[in-house]
Amino acid sequence: MKRRFALSLLLLSLLGSAGGVWAQQGYWRDLPPDERRQMRQQMREHWQQEREFRHEESSPRWRDVPQEDRQRLRDEMREQRNRPDLRENRGGVRGWR
């Protein structure tokens, strides 16, 4: 009995939340055209700011790394590529780059 009540309550809460989301989706359609334009413009600005923020957070560009460090990293990568024990682990896969 309690289980049936709990399942009914869960189903009703899920339907209620889905109905709320469905009602919210149509909200912007009820806005006058000027307010919709303004909302779209605000969203564009927001997305642009997010893109700029992510771009600033991204890993450092190679030209920002000092020349000596770049050369050292290249040399280390070449050494790893030429190590015989790593070649065997590739399993004969060609064109991995």
Query: Model pTM?
Result: 0.34
What are the C-alpha distances in Å from 22 to residues 1, 8, 19?
Answer: 31, 21, 5
Residue 79 lies in a domain: yes
Residue 95 lies in a domain: no
Residue 71 lies in a domain: yes
| Dihedral over Cα of 12, 15, 18, 23: its sign | negative
What's the confidence (pLDDT) of residue 96?
56
- The boundaries of the domain holding residue 66 are 32-88
What's the confidence (pLDDT) of residue 90?
56
Residue 1 lies in a domain: no
Radius of gyration of the chain (CA): 28
Number of domains composing the chain: 1
25-48 confidence digits (pLDDT tens): 666 678 889 999 999 999 999 999
Residue 11 lies in a domain: no
Residue 64 lies in a domain: yes
Residue 75 lies in a domain: yes
What's the confidence (pLDDT) of residue 65?
80
57-96 confidence digits (pLDDT tens): 666 666 678 889 889 999 999 998 887 775 555 555 555 5
Residue 16 lies in a domain: no
